[in-house]
C-alpha cells in the first residue's frame, strides 16, 4: 500500500514524462505556461489531501515539483540562436518562474478547495 505522498510523487513523475514528450520538438512559452499551471493544479490537489504536513512543507514540495518541471522542459522554449543568452539568464528566469509559481499557489489553493 502506498502513501498519499508516494502516489503524488508517481503522478508528478508521470506528468514530467508527458511534459518531456510534449517538449521533444520544442515548446512555446504559452505551452510551458499551460504545463506550469497544470503542474500547480496537480500538486495542489494532491497535497491538499495530505493531513500530516504543515502548509510551508506542502508549499516546499509543490515548489520542488515546479522546479523539476522548469529543469525538465524550459530549455525547449529557447531557439538555438538564443541559447547562449539563455544560459546567461536561465538562473534569473528560473528564480522568476519559481517566484510566480509561489504566488500562484496562494491563489490556486482556494480554487482547488472550492472544486473538491
Residue range 21-42, pLDDT digits in tens: 999 999 999 999 999 999 998 9
Q: Is the pLDDT reported for residue 116 higher than 60?
A: no
pTM of the prediction?
0.88
Nearest to 62 by CA among 48, 43, 42, 82: 43
Q: Is the pLDDT reported for residue 82 higher than 80?
A: yes
For the chain, the structural domain boundaries read: 4-115
Higher-pLDDT residue of 1, 80: 80
Nearest to 102 by CA among 54, 51, 65, 47: 65
Mean pLDDT across the chain, nearest whole number? 90
Q: How far apart are CA 56 and CA 73, in angstroms?
A: 26
Residue range 84-93, pLDDT digits in tens: 999 999 999 9
Q: How far apart are CA 101 and CA 59, in angstroms?
A: 10
Under a CB-based contact definition with an 8 Å cutoff, are residues 59 and 109 in contact? no
What is the pLDDT, as a whole number, of residue 5?
Answer: 86
Under a CB-based contact definition with an 8 Å cutoff, are residues 61 and 47 in contact? yes
Cα end-to-end span (Å), the chain: 24
Q: How confident is the model at residue 2 (pLDDT cuts 50, 70, 90)?
A: confident
Amino acid at each position: 500500500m502506498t502513501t498519499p505522498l508516494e502516489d503524488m510523487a508517481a503522478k508528478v513523475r508521470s506528468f514530467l514524462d508527458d511534459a518531456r514528450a510534449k517538449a521533444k520538438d520544442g515548446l512555446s512559452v504559452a505551452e510551458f505556461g499551460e504545463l506550469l499551471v497544470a503542474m500547480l493544479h496537480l500538486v495542489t490537489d494532491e497535497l491538499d489531501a495530505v493531513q500530516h504536513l504543515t502548509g510551508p512543507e506542502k508549499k516546499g514540495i509543490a515548489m520542488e515539483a515546479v522546479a523539476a518541471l522548469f529543469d525538465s522542459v524550459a530549455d525547449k522554449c529557447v531557439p538555438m540562436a538564443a541559447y547562449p543568452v539563455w544560459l546567461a539568464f536561465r538562473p534569473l528566469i528560473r528564480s522568476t518562474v519559481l517566484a510566480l509559481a509561489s504566488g500562484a499557489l496562494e491563489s490556486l489553493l482556494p480554487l482547488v478547495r472550492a472544486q473538491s
